[in-house]
Chains A and B, each alone.
Chain A
């Protein structure tokens, strides 16, 4: 299994531009999580899906952020318009119902820099 796959690994964009981050979860996992990590705030849960349905988006910082999961093997996190304070590492993680309480598998992250 290739694990959780995120793209791109690095993204540098100008303020005001749209940014789309992508994630492919592990096959068979029915939970998908989007996290943001910064030095100041650590790992923050933004949104998570179960069976492609958003369950909790209370961590999404504002309306500029949106996430979709059109099918079991693909999810996107979009920021429009982007701002310098959105600079962070964004992680996607997945797990299965039977193992969810025993941990997630994280992707390698997308390092976003907004200038």
Chain B
């Protein structure tokens, strides 16, 4: 079993819908959580990060962390065709030597 699990998708939604993405993890030591967006034939780019549990909002994006359930989520409101990409979760902890552990990514398609 992988340390970080993520449904590969694809997740197809109509424009304007809410996109809901999530990751589960097994290592309770993780304390830093990130979401990356990767467009086709590009490198991953950091979208959001959170520390420990709680919510964080940035424009149309909301990240949630539930450490008790070892579950993190990313919500995209009012989705646009430009949000079509692969979304990867990543996480780390201080003793990991700044090493990130990535999920496999979820491919999202927003149809106009």
Contacts and interface: CB of A to CB of B under 8 A. Distances in A.
Nearest to A92: B43
A107 B43 contact: yes
Interface in A34-69: 42-43, 45, 48, 50, 55-56
A31 B98 contact: yes
A102 B49 contact: yes
A75 B32 CA distance: 27
Interface in B53-110: 88, 90, 92, 94, 97-100, 102-105
B45 to A, nearest CB: 7
Contact of B100 (A4, A56, A97, A104): A104
Interface string A78-90: 0000000000000
Sorting the interface of chain A by its residue count into under 10, 10 to 19, 20 to 34 or 35 or more gives 20 to 34
Contacts of A104: 46, 100
A105 to B, nearest CB: 7
Interface magnitude class on chain B: 20 to 34
Nearest to B90: A103
A2 to B, nearest CB: 13
Contact of B49 (A4, A48, A103, A109): A103
A102 B34 contact: yes
27 contacts: A31-B98, A42-B102, A42-B104, A43-B44, A43-B88, A45-B99, A45-B100, A50-B97, A50-B98, A55-B97, A56-B97, A91-B44, A93-B43, A100-B98, A101-B92, A102-B32, A102-B46, A102-B49, A103-B36, A103-B46, A103-B49, A103-B90, A105-B46, A106-B43, A108-B43, A109-B42, A111-B41
